[in-house]
Amino acid sequence: MGIVEKIVQLRDEALGRIAAAADLESLESVRVAYLGKKGELTAVLRGLGELSPEERPAVGRVSNEVRDAIEQALAERRAVLEREALEQRIAAEAVDVTLPGRRRPLGHQHIIHQIVDEIVDVFVGLGYRIAEGPEVELDYYNFTALNHPPEHPARAATDTFYVRDLSTDEQSGRLESDVLLRTHTSPVQVRVMERQRPPIYVLAPGKVFRRDVADPSHLPQFTQIEGLVVDEGITFGDLKGTLEHFVREIFGPERHVRLRPHFFPFTEPSAEVDVSCAMCNGEGCRSCGGEGWLEVLGCGMVDPNVFRYVGIDPERYSGFAFGMGAERIAALKHGIPDLRLLIEGDMRFLRQF
């Protein structure tokens, strides 16, 4: 057999083995067997030097052709095998997409603070800043400067928690202390007006305390959100418009708002604010007790006596204030049947919201 025949035979052999290679590994061994350093074709090519100069060009050409053919066949086969391998891997890697994802449970914000933050954001959008005050307060800020007469029933020890006053040695009668747990967030109004001149646009969320035994509709500690605006030319219509905006932001744009005249010592005129029941839209149904309306907050124009306590001229400035209970809003908006759920820390409750 001449050298050319030998080369052609090698080619045929190689192409046959390439086509038969079942995987990339055996394909690689075919490549090594023919084109590797010790490969058969390599050996043949290495022997070209021993040929006569007349034979060399022809044999050289044939062997180059053969090498190219084998390389091309290898490349084509590799592409096929790689594609097959990828397809197999993909098939093998298919998962049950309905299995739950890997995760750590997400933490949830308490529903009360979600409501507070939501309301804060509404009023920040209206240009309000957030004010804070102490939870242990002086009678002066909680009652006196808010125009509560000395005999006001809210001052009674049955309603308000009093705190031992350590600034004086003689603790005259047990309940004579003028230090107390604030019963509303309204004292923050007074503190803000004492330290800041108008214009004042503030919202004051915070904890408040009343001597109520915890039951489905009462807690001894709950959360109020107080608003105060003092500026030149503030009108009762501004109060109304502000609260309408607020109620629609929090309860939904289709809800109606009404102001019912009421009495609070620190506002004049005063009103309670009702929002139309989401279930019946004011018609009256079981969820609103047939009223059609749900009371959500109290409000009014700042009483001139309050301005007098903080040295703001009621002839020059006017203002409005409003206050609401976050727990009540939570109960109305989310159908929470028992307020005690809010302070128990039950994981199953907290993770619902």
Residues 74-103 that bind another protein (CB under 8 A): 99-100, 102
Assess 340 for contact with another protein (CB under 8 A): no
6 or 245: CB nearest another protein? 245
CB of 250 to another protein, least distance (A): 16
Q: Rounded distance, CA 113 to CA 333, Å?
A: 14
Assess 350 for contact with another protein (CB under 8 A): yes
Assess 290 for contact with another protein (CB under 8 A): no
Q: Rounded distance, CA 230 to CA 228, Å?
A: 7
Assess 151 for contact with another protein (CB under 8 A): yes
| C-alpha distances in Å from residue 73, one per residue of 9, 11, 16, 343 | 16, 10, 10, 76
Question: 299: exposed, middle or buried (C-beta count within 10 Å: 0-12, 13-18, 19+)?
Answer: buried
CB of 278 to another protein, least distance (A): 20
Assess 135 for contact with another protein (CB under 8 A): yes
2 or 100: CB nearest another protein? 100
Which among 127, 272, 253, 265 is positioned nearest to 200, based on CA atoms? 127
Window contacting another protein (CB under 8 A); options: 19-27, 32-40, 62-70, 208-216: 208-216
Out of 213, 254, 311, 337, the only residue in the binding site for another protein (CB under 8 A) is: 213
Assess 124 for contact with another protein (CB under 8 A): yes
Window contacting another protein (CB under 8 A); options: 16-24, 31-39, 81-89, 199-207: 199-207
Residues 295-324 that bind another protein (CB under 8 A): 301, 303-304, 314, 318
Assess 338 for contact with another protein (CB under 8 A): no
Q: Rounded distance, CA 237 to CA 75, Å?
A: 83
Which among 257, 339, 268 is positioned nearest to 297, based on CA atoms? 257
Window contacting another protein (CB under 8 A); options: 10-18, 44-52, 79-87, 174-182: 174-182
Handedness of CA 335, 338, 342, 344 (dihedral sign): negative
80 or 175: CB nearest another protein? 175
∠ at Cα 21 (30, 41), nearest 5°?
Answer: 20
Q: Rounded distance, CA 177 to CA 293, Å?
A: 40
CB of 237 to another protein, least distance (A): 3
Specify the residue for token string 């009702």.
274
CB of 334 to another protein, least distance (A): 15
3-state secondary structure of 107: coil
22 or 99: CB nearest another protein? 99
Assess 112 for contact with another protein (CB under 8 A): yes
56 or 108: CB nearest another protein? 108
Assess 279 for contact with another protein (CB under 8 A): no
Q: Rounded distance, CA 198 to CA 319, Å?
A: 10
Q: Rounded distance, CA 140 to CA 165, Å?
A: 14
Query: Which one-letter amino acid corresponds to residue 159?
Result: D
Residues 29-58 that bind another protein (CB under 8 A): none
Q: Residue 201 forms beta bridges with which residues?
A: 229
Residues 249-278 that bind another protein (CB under 8 A): 258-263, 268-271
Q: Rounded distance, CA 260 to CA 91, Å?
A: 69
